Chain A
């Protein structure tokens, strides 16, 4: 058994026995579940209202039956993915910080680093353990969400829906790993772990809340609740024509938004799950074509964060901090 897998196993044991972590992840899962349940109940209410209306029409002798409302089960997951985007990222910071800070506070570093282990075994193993942890958590949340949509929302999920959920779940894992790796790297790099936590939380605040908020505020369509163009009953083609006059502004707004890993996550997850109307019920190839650059970007960011964490946690650096 190589030292990376030993550290990964130890990390999983620590996370499994950490009651605070259980409370945090359980609260995330519950928040996701509640959002899905609320959306599912809304879905059920709308369908019930439609059925009642149709029955009343039939009872009055009408033969003209209106089309059923366009309701899409996966759109119920909007709140769930928003929780992962905001609260999940926050928990990922705590997990990443904790994995390095625990060892530094315990004073076990010298015992570990006096052994014949590779240069990046320590951080590599820790990140591998965290990766398995997030895979289990995201898997559980996605499974709970899918069951909730089916049971509470009484909506049947197709194989295609399951595949889209799987992709959105995978992107969630990549996103959470980004935050854990950044926090772990900062905690290894800085002399005081508490300073690293403050810096990581500041980064979270800026990337998860401030940048997307600026982007949303700059979006002309967000100036009126429900959408400016919808409120003015402007057709999509006209909307595109109007926005063409503001292409530079729109490019600047887009460039700002895609600097945020959270916004990238949101765009990809919302597209594949069909929360964004533009991509709802579209083919996989269409969505992939539109999202590929964002997907590569979020992957590159997470790989960079992982490399940063590995470099920051080299034996030499950890020893410098431990002495």
Chain B
């Protein structure tokens, strides 16, 4: 029997009268790398905000790592890591000071040892005493990954993780995501509007359009249906609709 790291049933969110997310029924199996594709404003960030308990749903239910996101929100939060789009840090603090703060907030008893372990895993050693404010966008994204996995969460949410990165930064981040999944068994939920990002990283794909999940299948099945890059791209634009 498949266990689901993320499971939603009719999960809905409205901003006043505007429906941001239509009833969402989605299961993401433990150990998957799930990519949620969609144009800007399609409802990707709303979905992640709901699943990370940063937004309260206006309808439906969802569990993350077995914890209900409303009834047991703190339990859910203890099991997730989160990298927001345009992640911000304490720019006046060093990398080590930033990570130490977030490690302590996550209740890690020996933060320095864990920080060294995580930075080693991300091949990001030697910057401990540099101020984060001086980091490039790519370096900041790696700090973002580091803070998100400090407490070894079973589920990691990444919101547009490659946004604004140069090709080298994209490749480094992609490698980190794949290694996290392979070596730590972390289930990864990734938002993106880049088709190539999903086909190179994910094991299953969802496409959201105007707040509605219009496609959900494994990467293998999706590529079987659309074997060439052009066919997949056409299908994506047909399914996701024209960009907002």
Contacts and interface: CB of A to CB of B under 8 A. Distances in A.
Contacts of A113: 54
A211 B49 CA distance: 46
Interface in A103-132: 106-108, 110-117
Contacts of B147: 111
A110 B74 contact: no
Contacts of B56: 316
B84 A111 contact: yes
Contact of B104 (A6, A106, A116): A6
B107 A107 contact: no
Interface residues of A, number: 21
Contacts of B86: 107
A108 B106 CA distance: 15
Contacts of A111: 82, 84, 87-89, 102, 147
A10 B90 CA distance: 10
Contacts of B244: none
A108 to B, nearest CB: 5
Contact of B77 (A1, A13, A114): A114
A106 B49 CA distance: 19
Contacts of A1: 104, 107
A278 interface: no
Nearest to A112: B105
Contacts of B106: 115-116
A323 interface: yes
A319 B52 CA distance: 12
Which of B52, B75, B90, B147 is packed against the most chain A CB atoms within 10 Å? Answer: B90
A10 B77 contact: no
Nearest to B102: A111
A3 interface: yes
Interface string A308-323: 0000000010010001
A116 B88 contact: no
A116 B78 contact: yes
A267 B38 CA distance: 65
A256 to B, nearest CB: 44
A245 interface: no
Contacts of B53: 114
B55 A6 contact: no
B149 interface: no
A9, A111, A319, A323: residue with the most chain B Cβ atoms closer than 10 Å: A111
A17 interface: yes
B105 A115 contact: yes
B92 interface: yes
Contacts of A114: 52-54, 77, 80, 82, 84
A24 B147 CA distance: 34
Interface in B90-136: 90-93, 97, 101-102, 104-107
Interface in B55-73: 55-56
A144 B232 CA distance: 75
Interface in B5-54: 49, 52-54
Nearest to B106: A115
B18 to A, nearest CB: 14
A189 to B, nearest CB: 19
B101 A110 contact: no
Contacts of A323: 49, 54-55
Contacts of A107: 86, 88
A23 to B, nearest CB: 17
Interface of B: 49, 52-56, 74-75, 77-78, 80, 82, 84, 86-93, 97, 101-102, 104-107, 147
Given A108-B90, A114-B84, 16 more contacts: A1-B104, A17-B92, A106-B88, A108-B89, A110-B82, A111-B102, A111-B147, A112-B105, A114-B53, A114-B77, A114-B82, A115-B77, A116-B74, A116-B77, A116-B106, A319-B55
6 contacts: A107-B86, A111-B84, A111-B88, A111-B89, A115-B105, A116-B75
